């Protein structure tokens, strides 16, 4: 699996997990979804994503060809 797809899957999972936990467990879990959203917003401006740094250190390859995101 390529780096960009992993990033989108992890972000999507964390947003949905935060919403589900916030609804069923405690409202404080909504902050998880908010944190992920803020991180995605700042990454769009700065280009810095902590998960990307981790995946680069783990030597996960970026997407190529048709798998690459547009």
DSSP states along 5-62: HHHHHHHHHHHHHHHHHHHHT-GGGHHHHHHHHHHHHHHHHH---HHHHHHHHTTPPP
Per the domain annotation, does 35 fall within a domain? yes
Residues 8-54 pLDDT 10s: 999 999 999 999 999 999 999 999 999 999 999 999 999 999 999 99
Q: Does residue 68 lie within any of the structural domains? A: no
Number of separate domains in the chain: 1
Establish if 70 belongs to a structural domain: no
Residue 55 lies in a domain: yes
pTM score of the predicted model = 0.84
Residue 22 lies in a domain: yes
Task: Say which residue, 52 or 66, is predicted with more confidence.
Answer: 52
* Residue 67 resides in a domain: no
Tokens 């999507």 found at? 12
Residue 69 lies in a domain: no
Whether pLDDT at 70 is above 50: no
Residue 53 lies in a domain: yes
Rounded Cα gap, residues 46 and 21, in angstroms: 30
């Amino acid at each position: 699996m390529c780096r960009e797809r992993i990033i989108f899957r992890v972000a999507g999972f964390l947003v949905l997990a935060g919403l589900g936990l916030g609804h069923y467990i405690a409202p404080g879990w909504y902050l998880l979804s908010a944190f992920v959203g803020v991180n995605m917003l700042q990454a769009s401006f700065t280009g810095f994503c902590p998960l990307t740094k981790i995946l680069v250190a783990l030597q996960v390859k970026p997407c190529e060809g048709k798998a690459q995101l547009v």
